[in-house]
Structures are given as structure tokens and as C-alpha cells.
Amino acid sequence: MPSKQRIIFPSSTFLCQIRRELANAITILIAPPRQFRLLFGVPKLRSFLKYWLPVLIWMTLIYSASADSKSAERSAGYFEPLLRWLFPQMSPAHIGQIHYAFRKFCHLAEYAILAWLLWRAIRKPEKNNPRPWNWAEAGTALFIVFLYGASDELHQVFVATRTARVSDVLVDTLGGAAALLALWIFGRRRKR
């Protein structure tokens, strides 16, 4: 003879607990946007997207330009014909020197932008909340610029037709320092 199985019904407190959990889950799903943001850390994500994502995008652009093995030929293909058209009497050696200086200026400018983006991400400036200039924040941004410039040059060792130069790291760091100095000067003038 088969044995009789006993059916066990859940207790009413267990059912009440399940009902409360479902109610909480539904409240979270249809919570007002402000409450929803606080529950899931959206302000931190917004801060990351606003301040650090531009830094990462700019670093990626620098890295991809560094990985281009024919960047000198590409820029020469645009820049040198323009110089020959503007100054037909200029010697090819002089045009080559100007092109070299233009490439170094571009290095300086791209790392100046990186320094500004890093300073902005570290400082997280707020509207209508003027804080005094902080040299530690600027120094941290400049140190990261130096490290990234050095890593960029190290990366170029492994790219065909590219050469790594200590002078490029110095140019990159100088570009970062120039941007931070400009920010400091602009901040002082704005206070006046």
C-alpha cells in the first residue's frame, strides 16, 4: 500500500514575508527617479561619465595615433604641400624642419588637453563654488601626463617606423605644464 503524503501549507507569517518582499521589489521598480538613482549609485556613474570618460577617450585617441606607423607620412602629405603652395621659394629642408616643429607642437597640444582633462577630473569643479587653486591637484595631473607620455613613447618602440624619444616625453610634459599654468593664470584673473 502506498504511504500517504502529508501536504504542508506555508505559514501565514511566511506568506506575509513573501508579500512584503514582492511589495519592496515593485516599489524599487516603480520608484521615483531620485530614489532610484540613490539605490543604484547612478550619481557615481554620472560623475565618472562627466569627468573621467573624456580622459579615457582622449587617452585612447593618443594611443591610437601612437599606434599609427605612417603618421609622419600622413601629416607630411597634407602639411608639406600646403607649405609649398603658400611659400613656393622655401627649400625642402626648411619645409621638413617646419613639419617637424608642427608635429612637436601637436604633441604639446594633445598633452595640454590631456592635462586639462585630468585636472578637471581630479578637481571636479562646481558652478558657483570657487575653491582656491590646489597645487597638489595640478601636480597629480602633471604626474599622470608624464607617466602617460612615457608609456606612449615606450609603446612606440614596438610600432614599426616609430621611434621613442625622451625629448617627446619632455615635450608632452611641457604641454601639460603649460595647460596647468594657463588654468592657474586664468583662475587668478577671473577672481580679480
Per-residue pLDDT of the chain (192 residues; tens, 9 = 90+): 555 665 555 556 655 666 666 666 555 555 555 554 444 556 778 878 888 999 999 999 999 888 876 677 777 788 888 888 988 898 989 888 988 898 899 889 999 999 999 999 999 877 776 778 889 999 999 999 999 999 999 988 888 778 888 989 999 999 999 999 999 999 888 776
pLDDT value for 4: 60
pLDDT value for 46: 80
pLDDT value for 6: 58
Rounded-to-integer distance, Cα 145 and Cα 162, Å: 20
pLDDT value for 191: 72
Rounded-to-integer distance, Cα 43 and Cα 74, Å: 42
Would you kindly state where each structural domain of the chain is located, as residue ranges? 10-40, 41-191
Q: Does the predicted TM-score (pTM) go above 0.95?
A: no
